[in-house]
Amino acid sequence: MNLDDIIRSAGFELARQRKHKIYKSAKLGKTLVVASTPGDHRAGENTLAQLARLTGIRKHDLLSPPLGRKCRPPRQVATALAQVEGKPVEIVVETQPDSASEQLTRAEKKLLKRLGKHDIQRTVKLERQRQRLQSVLNECHDYFLYMMFDRGMAYRGDDREELHDLVALSLFSAVKERMGFHDVELMAAEIVINQQVGDTMVVRAGSWYLDYFGGQVHDTRQWVADFDANTASISVFGALRVVRGDDGIRISD
């Protein structure tokens, strides 16, 4: 069984194919991205791992699906079934603790206070982080709009695709190298404008998603953006492989 057969047996169907094969599962509501020409020997293993995460099925079971044999229920389940079938069931009523035991100790109060301070500090830290990312994103967003409309790339297909690659890689490099983020990925995304479906890219930095198309930092994988007086719905669904060569970084085909 080849990789395509394994993906289809997991309930995914090929939706479209350009630089990457994009599979979708209507039942799970999820999307799988696979490179059309894998760049390294572990590409198949990485795809299986991603498929296992999306479906919740172990890689071993994806490669050799079980025959669905009957299994003996665990002892606790068997005991419960036997009781329901007619054996006496003992009902245990837990008594509520008295008011004295519900009172917090001094140490517990101190712990709660420290946790509250930690939450406040974390919220402030995340907001500062978001603002720093937004300032970098603004530069890429402004350049993207200038090239799209002032320079007319919005109306030239090949130029428009090259512009997306350039802006996405510039943003990826700025976040990773200039800002020092370690957990950074270039993500494939789907954009819908006026019922027209297209491809775009988003940079994920930690728990943040940087949308150079709409110019906003988001904390979820889906959002709605206003672009050129239109409403655009954007959904992030998979990571793209970025490689470094003699001429700089590029997106692997």
pLDDT for position 17: 84
**Helix 106-145, helix 157-173: angle, nearest 10:** 150
Q: Over 90: is that where the pLDDT of 89 sits?
A: no
Which residue, among 1, 5, 25, has the nearest Cα to 13 in the 3D structure? 25
Residues in the chain: 253
pTM, to two decimals: 0.56
pLDDT for position 156: 74
Residue 34's identity, in one-letter code, is V
Q: Over 60: is that where the pLDDT of 224 sits?
A: yes
Q: Over 90: is that where the pLDDT of 131 sits?
A: yes
* Tens-digit pLDDT profile for residues 103-129: 788 888 888 888 887 788 888 889 999
Residue 146's identity, in one-letter code, is Y
Mean pLDDT of 195-214: 92
Whether the CB-CB separation of 32 and 23 falls below 8 Å is answered with: yes
Give kind and range of the element (H or E) at residue 195: none
CA distance 124 to 122: 5
pLDDT for position 81: 47
Site of tokens 């500062």: 128
Mean pLDDT of 59-66: 72
CA distance 74 to 69: 15
* Tens-digit pLDDT profile for residues 165-190: 999 999 999 999 989 999 999 999 99
DSSP assignment, residue 1? -
Per DSSP, helices labelled H in the chain are 3-9, 43-55, 59-63, 75-84, 99-102, 106-145, 157-173
Q: Per the CATH hierarchy, to which homologous superfamily does domain 3-62 belong? A: Hypothetical protein. (3.30.920.30)
Task: Return residue ranges of the chain for CATH 3.30.920.30.
Answer: 3-62
Whether the CB-CB separation of 125 and 133 falls below 8 Å is answered with: no
3 token code pair: 């990789």
No. of H helices and E strands in the chain?
7, 11
Across-strand partners of 242? 251
Q: Over 50: is that where the pLDDT of 100 sits?
A: no
Q: Which backbone phi and psi does 93 adopt, to 5 degrees? A: -100, 120
pLDDT for position 67: 44
Mean pLDDT of the chain: 81
